[in-house]
Structure 1
Amino acid sequence: MQFSSIVGQEEIKQRLINTVKENRVSHAQLFLGPEGSGSLALAIAYAQYLSCEDKQENDSCGVCSSCRKYQKLVHPDLHFSYPFFAKHKDDTALNFVEQWREALLKNPYLSLDLWRSYLDAENKQANINIAECHQIIKKLSFKPFESAYKILILWLPEYLDKTGNALLKIIEEPQPNTLFLLVAQNQDQILNTILSRTQLIKVPCLNDAEIKQYLIAEHHQTEHAAAEIAFLSDGNLTEALAMLNNDENSYHDYFLRWLRMCFSNKGLEIVDFVDVLAKLGRENQKNFMRYGISYIRECCMILAGAGNLVHLPAKELDTAQKMIKVMSLPMAEAISELLEKAHYHVERNANPKILFLDVSLQIVKILKFKTIPQGTHYISS
C-alpha cells in the first residue's frame, strides 16, 4: 500500500516520511486513531516505504520487488498480529492469515465487525492470546530476510490481556532492525506497560470534505449523495464505505418528511410512513437514526448560538434554519435523546413498527404539543 492511496492525513504521511529521511525511525510506534481514520493503512504504507528499494520523495515506488510483495501482503519480513476468535488454546494469528489478507486487501479501513464477518466467530470474544504472544517472539527472534527491517504490525493491542506482558522484553530490546507498529483505537484499554514503551502517533478523524471527495472520485457518487454520506459517517471512512452497500435513500428527505408529519400530527400518514421505515432493513434504519441524531445535533448548535461551527451541506443547512423557528433547544435535545434510544433498540433487533410508531408519537408530543419528557412525565416547553 502506498501513501498516495490513503485518504487525507497529509500531515501524518509527511511526518512518517521525514522520520525515514532523517534516520529517526523508532523501533516501537503506536498509531492511535478512531475507527475509519486510516491508522492501519498508514502503518502498512509506512512499512512499505521503509522496505522500498527505490524510495521516491514522498512515497514508495510501488514497482520494486519489495513493493509488489507488500501490495499482496506476502513480504517475508512483514508480519501481522490481530485479534481472532480462538477455537483452541494454541491457535495463533497464522491460523487465520488467509482470511486476514483477503479482508485487508479488500478494505484497508478494516473494523473488528468487518473482520468478524470473515471468521467463524460464533459467540466467542476476540482476543490476542498467550500462544500468539509466543508466536510473535519466535517470529521476531530472526534477522530480516530480504529488507532492511523486519516489521510486525499489531492491530488492536487493546485485545492483549495481561499475557501481553510477555512481549515487554522484545518490545524494549528487539533484535536489530526490528520494528513494532501498533495500531489502536482506544488508548485507555492498552496495557500501560506496553503503552509506555511506544512512540505515540495520533491519527485524527477524516473531515467531511475528504470523505466526500473520495466518494465522488473513487465510488462515482453524486455530490449530494457523497455529502450526505460524509456527514452521516462523522469522519469514519469505514462507516461511509458500508453505507455505499445499503439501498440508496435520501436520509435527509426521509427525516424531514417524518418531522413534518409529526409537527402536523398527521396520524394516518405517520402510520403509513412507519411501515416504510420498517421495510428499510436494519442497517438502513440504523443509518436513518444516525442521520437524525447528527442533524438534530447541528440544530442544537445553531439554537445555542454556535452556528459558525455547523458543517451541514447547503440544502440541509437551509432546512435547519427553517426548523429552528418551530423548535426550542430543550425540544431538540429531547428529540435527540429519543433518537439515540431508538438507535440502541434498532441495533438490538427491536420490532421496527412498534419502535418507530412509539418514537413518532413521542415526537408529536414534543413538536406539536410542546411537551418535554421528564422521566415518565411530560412538562410544557
Structure 2
Amino acid sequence: MQFKEIIGQEKVKQQLVQTVKENRISHAQLFLSPVGSGALPLAVAYAQYINCLDRKENDSCGVCSSCRKYERLIHPDLHFSYPFFASSSIKTAVDVLDDWRNMLLQDLYFDMDIWRSKLEAANKQANIPIGECHDIIKKLSYKAFEAQTKVLIMWLPEYLDKSGNALLKLIEEPPANTLFILVAQSQDQILTTILSRTQIVKIPKLTGEEITNYLLENTGVNQNQAIDYSFLADGNLIEAKALAADIQGDSSGVFTSWLRMGFGNKVPDLIDFTDEAAKWGRENQKNFLKYGINYLRECCLIISGAEALVKLPPLTMETAKKLSEHVLTLPMAEAIITELEKAHYHIERNANPKILFLDVSLQLVKIIRFKTLPQGTQYIYN
C-alpha cells in the first residue's frame, strides 16, 4: 500500500513522511480516526515507506523487494494484531491470519461488522485476549528478519481488556528498531495505561468532496447520487460505498417530495409513496430515513441562523433554505426527526414497512400541514 493509493488525508501523509525524513519516528503511535477515514491504510503505507529500500520524495517506490512483500502483506517483519473470536482451535490472531490478509487485499476500508462477517462468530464476543498479548511479546523479541524496522499494527486496541497491561513494558521500552502502530476509533475505550505511552496521530474524517469523487470514479452512481451518499455517509467511506451499492434513486429529491406531499395534504400521493417505499428493501428504507434525519438536522441549522455550518451541496441547499424559510419551524423539524428516528428503530426490528411508512406520512401531514406537534412540544409561529 502506497500513500498515493489512499483517498485524501494529504496533511497526515505529509506529516508521516516528514517524521521519516527527519528521523523522529516515535516507537509507539496511536492513529486515532473516525470509522471509514483510512487510518489502517495509512498505517500500512507508513510502515511500507519506513522499510522501503528506495524511498521517493513523498512515497515508497512500490517496486523494491520490501515494497512487493508489503503489497501482498507477507513481509516477515510486518505483524498484525486485531480482535478475533477465540475458541479451542483459535487462540491467537495468527490462527485467522489468512482471513485477515484476504480481507485487506480485497479492500483496506472495512469495519468491525465486515470483519465479523468473515469469521465464525456465533454468539462469542470479539477481543484481543492475553494469549495474543503473549504472542506479540514473543514475536517482537526476535531480531528483524530482513527489514530495518519491525512493525506491529494493532487494529482496534479498544478490544484489549485488562490483560493488555501485559504489553506495557514492551510498548514503553521496545527492542531496538521496533514500531507499534495502534489504529483506534474511540480514545475513551482504550486502556489509559496504554494510551499514556503512545503518541497520538489524529486523522480527520474524509471530506464530502473526496468521497463524492471516489464514488464517481469507482461506482456507477451519477453526480447527484454521489453528492447525496457523501452527505449521508458524513466522512465514512465504508458507509458511502454501502449506500452506493444499496440505494437507487435521488434521496434528496424523493425526501423533499415526500415533505411537499405532507404539506399539501396529498393523501393519495402519500399512499402511492408508501406502496413504493415498501418495495425498497429494509436497508434502503433505513438509509432513506437516515438521510431524512440528517437533512432535517441541516434545516435546523438554517432555521437557527447557523447556515455557515450546513454541509448540504448547493442544489440541495437551495431547496432546504426554501423549506426552512417558508414551511418548517424548529419545533416542526424536531418533531419530524423524532418520527423518522422512531420509524428507523422499528424498521430495524422488522416492522411492516407499508404500515410504518403510511403512519409516518400521516404524521407528516399533522405536523407540517396542520401544525399538530407531539404532546409537550410548543409550536412557535414564524
When the two structures are superposed, what TM-score results if normalisation uses the length of structure 1? Answer: 0.95
Contact kept in structure 2, 1:89 and 1:131, CA below 8 Å: no
Matches within 5 A, 1:88-237: 88=88, 91-219=91-219, 221-237=221-237
Contact map agreement 2:343 2:360 (CA 8 A) in 1: yes
Aligned to 1:348: 349
Partner of residue 360, structure 1:
361
- 2-side partners of 1:102 and 1:90: how far apart? 18
**SS of residue paired to 2:374:** strand
Deviation at 1:75, TM superposition (A): 0.8
* Cα 1:133–1:348 shift into 2, 3 Å: farther
Aligned partner of residue 245 in structure 1, secondary structure: helix
Q: How far apart are 1:121 and its partner, in Å?
A: 1.5
* Structure 1 residue 123, shift from structure 2 partner: 2.3
- Structure-2 separation of matches of 1:194 and 1:139: 19
Distance of 1:321 and 1:209 partners within structure 2: 21
CA 1:332–1:109 in 2, change beyond 3 Å: closer, same or farther? same
The yes-or-no answer on 1:26 pairing with 2:30 is no
**Amino acid of the structure 1 residue aligned with 2:329:** S
SS at match of 1:37: coil
C-alpha contact 2:270 2:361 (8 A) present in aligned 1: yes
Give the 3-state SS of the residue equivalent to 1:140 in structure 2.
helix
Identity %: 61
The amino acid of 2:69's aligned partner reads: K
What is the CA distance between 1:105 and its match in structure 2?
1.6
Answering whether residue 364 of structure 2 is matched by residue 369 of structure 1, we say no
Cα offsets for 1:294-333 (capped at 9, x unmatched): 1111111111111122221222112112212111111111
**Matches of 1:293 and 1:226 in 2, distance apart?**
18
Tell me what 2:279 maps to. Answer: 279
Q: Distance in 2 between matches of 1:207 and 1:349?
A: 33
Q: Please give the per-residue CA displacement for 1:102-128, whole angstroms capped at 9, x wherever unaligned.
A: 111212111001111111112222111
The amino acid that maps onto 2:287 is: N
Aligned equivalent of 1:57: 57
CA displacement at 1:380 relative to structure 2: 4.5
Output the amino acid matched with 1:371.
T
Q: Which residue of 1 aligns with 2:330?
A: 329
- Distance between the aligned counterparts of 1:293 and 1:247, measured in 2? 16
- What SS does structure 2 have at the residue aligned with 1:362? helix
What is the deviation of 1:232?
A: 1.1
State yes or no: 1:314 paired with 2:314: yes
> SS state of the match for residue 86, structure 1?
coil
Give the secondary structure class of the aligned counterpart of 1:79: strand
- Comparing 53-62 with 265-274, which one deviates more in the overlay? 265-274
Using the alignment, how far apart are the partners of 1:267 and 1:218 within structure 2? 40
1:351 deviates by 2.7
Relative to the length of structure 2, the TM-score reads: 0.95
Deviation at 1:202, TM superposition (A): 0.5
Question: Residues 109 and 169 of structure 1: is their aligned pair in 2 closer, same or farther, counting only changes over 3 Å?
Answer: same
Instruction: Give the AA of the match of 1:175.
Output: P
State which drifts further: 164-173 or 315-324: 315-324
Please give the alpha-carbon distance, in whole angstroms, between the structure 2 residues aligned to 1:380 and 1:242: 38
Q: Secondary structure at the match of 1:372?
A: coil
Match of 2:261 in 1: 261
Residues 309-362 of structure 1: per-residue CA shift (max 9 Å, x gap): 222122211211221211111111111222223223323333322322222222
- Number of residue pairs aligned between Structure 1 and Structure 2: 379
Amino acid at match of 1:306: A
Structure 2 unmatched ranges of 5 or more? none
Residue matched to 1:4: 4
Q: More deviation in 297-306 or 218-227?
A: 218-227
Is the Cα contact below 8 Å between 1:37 and 1:203 reproduced in 2?
yes
The Cα offsets for residues 198-254 of structure 1, whole Å up to 9 and x where unpaired, read as: 000001111101111222233354322221111111111111111121142211122
Equivalent position amino acid for 1:211 in 2 = I
* Conserved? CA contact 1:302–1:310, under 8 Å: yes
Task: Give the residue type in structure 2 aligned to 1:338.
Answer: E
State the SS of the aligned residue for 1:154.
Answer: strand
Task: Classify the secondary structure of the residue corresponding to 2:373.
Answer: strand
Kept in 2: contact 1:303–1:328 (CA 8 A): yes
Q: CA RMSD in A?
A: 1.6
Where in structure 2 are the equivalents of 1:291-302 lying within 5 Å?
A: 291-302=291-302
Moved more, 246-255 or 234-243: 246-255
Secondary structure of 2:54's aligned partner: coil
Question: 1:138 and 1:59 mapped to 2: Cα distance?
Answer: 31
Task: State the 1:61 CA deviation.
Answer: 0.6
1:338 corresponds to which residue?
A: 339
Output the amino acid matched with 1:318.
E
Question: Offset at 1:90?
Answer: 5.7
SS of equivalent to 2:239: helix
Q: Is the 8 A contact 1:371 1:379 kept in 2?
A: no
Q: Is the 8 A contact 1:6 1:41 kept in 2?
A: yes
In 1, are the aligned partners of 2:30 and 2:182 still within 8 Å (CA)?
Answer: yes
Following superposition, the deviation at residue 173 of structure 1 comes to 1.3
Stretches of structure 1 lacking an aligned partner (at least 5 in a row) = none
Q: Which amino acid aligns with 1:109?
A: Y
CA contact (8 A) 2:12 2:203 kept: yes
